[in-house]
Structure 1
Amino acid sequence: MIKLEGPSHGPAAGGAPRHLVVLLHGYGADGNDLIGLAPVLAPLMPDTVFHAPNAPYACEGAPMGYQWFGISRLDPHTVAAGVRAAAPFVDAFLDETMAQYGLDETRTVLVGFSQGTMMALHCGLRRDIPLAGIIGFSGMLAAPEALDTELRSRPPVLLIHGDSDPMLPSQLSETAAETLRRNGVPVGLHIAPGVGHGIDQTGLSQAARFLLDAFELPLPNQGN
C-alpha cells in the first residue's frame, strides 16, 4: 500500500507533541493547501503537531494535485465506493503518526476539506476508539444510509460550510448533521454567510475553538 507523505508543522513550543491534528485536503490539491492553517492555529495550541498528507493518487482533473478517489460528478455510489477504497490509507496514516509520537485517538483530531471531509467523516466514525474530534469544511457525508450499521465510535463533530458554495452546496453539510445527530453523534454546524468553496476567518475561528475544547486546552486570555 502507498505510504502517505506530506508537510508538517510544529509543535510551536518545540519538544514532543502532546496533541495531533491531521489535515486531509480536497480534490486536486495537496498537503500544502491545508498545512497553511497550522501557523494560524499553532500559537493557540503550542504542544500540537500538524500533519497534512498528500492523497494517494495523482489527480485526473489537476495534474499537479492529488485525489483520494476519482470523481467526475457527485454520484452517491461513486463517492461511497471512493471513500471505502481510500479509507485504509487514512487509517494507516493515523495509526503510524500517532505511534510515531506516542499519542492515541484521545489526543488526535481529524480535519478535512471538501473531498477530505468525506474521508475524515468516513474514517473517523468507523474507528474502534473515538478520536478527540472531527472537523469537516465544505464537504458531505458519504454513504449515509450505511452509517447506522457501520458506526463504531461517536467523536464530537463540527461541520462548517459556506452558503454560497458553487461546488458542494451547504445543504450537504446540513443533511450530514441531521444524519449524525440521528445516529447519536454530537455535532455542531456552522453555515457561513456569503462564503463559497473555502474557509473564512469565522469558520477558522469556530474550528480553533473546537480544537481547544477537544484537547481540553484553555481559550486565549483565560489562564491555564
Structure 2
Amino acid sequence: MSETTTLDGPRVEPLSGGPARQLVVLLHGLGADGNDLIELAPYLGQSLPDAAFVSPHAPFACDMAPMGRQWFSLQSVEPEKLLEGAEAAAPILERFLRAELEHHGLGAGQLALVGFSQGGMMALHVGLRWAEPVAAICGFSTALIGAEKLPEEIRGRPPVLLVHGDSDPVIPYQAMPAATAALKAIDVSVTAETRPGLAHGIDQEAVDLASGFLKRHLLAATA
C-alpha cells in the first residue's frame, strides 16, 4: 500500500501573497486529520509571511476511534512496534514532502517539519533521516522513537525544538528529556521547553515558542 498511497490535506498560501520561499508541513496526531494543525498556520505565518503551510491527512484510518486518521497503529506501544509503524509510514510522507517542495520550487533546506504527538514522532523520524537536511523540526508533546538505531541512520542534523507539558497523561513528560539526551548524544542541537501544568496539547506559549524558533531557522536558511 505504501508504494501507491498518496497524501493530501488543507493548505494555506503565504501571507505575503507572493511565491513561497519556505514550506512548513504540519503533522497531526492520532485520531485527528490535517484540519487540526492547519489552524496554526495563521499564527505561524505572522512570523513567516513568505511561508506556505500544508497539513496532510495521515495515510491510514484510525484503528482506535470511529473517525480520524493515523500514521501508524498504537494498539501496541512496544518500542519495536512503534518503530515498525514509523518506518512503514516514512516513505509515504517522504514522497509527499518531495512533491510539495517540487510544487513550490523549493529545496529541503527551506522546509520545516512541525508535528504534534504521533505527528511529532514522524517529523523526528523522517526529518533526521533525510539525505538532504531540512531546516528545522518542531515537536509538541511527542517522543523520539527508534533512538537506538538513529546513530547509524541519521543523515542530517537540523535544529530541533521540543515542547512538552509536564502534566501530559498521554505521552509522559519524561519523553522530552529522554529525546533531548538521545539527540544531543549524536550532536543534534535541541531546545527543550517545559510547559507547566499543560496536558496533552498545544497552548499559546508553545505556539509562540515554535513561531520564534521557525522564524530564526527558516529565515536563516533562506536568507
What's the TM-score, normalizing by structure 2? Answer: 0.95
Residue 122 of structure 2 corresponds to 119
2:164 corresponds to 1:184: no
2:34 corresponds to 1:31: yes
Where does the alignment leave 5 or more consecutive residues of structure 1 unmatched? 218-224
1:52-105: CA deviations, max 9, x gaps?
Answer: 000000111122200001112421111010000000011111100000000011
Residue 105 of structure 1 corresponds to 108
Amino acid paired to 1:83: A
Q: Distance in 1 between matches of 2:149 and 2:80?
A: 12
Task: Kindly report which structure 2 residues correspond to 1:76-95, keeping only aligned pairs within 5 A, or say none.
Answer: 76-95=79-98
CA RMSD, Structure 1 to Structure 2 (Å):
1.2
What's the TM-score, normalizing by structure 1? Answer: 0.95
Residue 222 of structure 1 corresponds to none
Q: Distance in 1 between matches of 2:93 and 2:217?
A: 20
Amino acid paired to 2:86: V
1:127-154: CA deviations, max 9, x gaps?
Answer: 0111100000111011111011111110
The answer to whether the Cα contact below 8 Å between 2:141 and 2:164 also exists between their aligned partners in 1 is yes
Q: Say which of 139, 145, 160 aligns to 2:163.
A: 160
Residue 44 of structure 2 corresponds to 41
**Deviation of 1:46 (Å):** 1.0
Residue 71 of structure 2 corresponds to 68
Amino acid paired to 2:213: F
The answer to whether the Cα contact below 8 Å between 2:47 and 2:212 also exists between their aligned partners in 1 is no
Residue 221 of structure 1 corresponds to none
Q: Distance in 2 between matches of 1:130 and 1:186?
A: 13
1:108-142: CA deviations, max 9, x gaps?
Answer: 10011000011000000000111100000111011
2:178 corresponds to 1:172: no
Residue 55 of structure 2 corresponds to 52
The answer to whether the Cα contact below 8 Å between 1:10 and 1:42 also exists between their aligned partners in 2 is no
- Residue 5 of structure 2 aligns to a residue whose secondary structure is coil
Amino acid paired to 2:203: D
1:132-190: CA deviations, max 9, x gaps?
Answer: 00000111011111011111110000011000000001111110010000001111100
**Deviation of 1:216 (Å):** 2.2
Percent identical pairs in the alignment equals 48
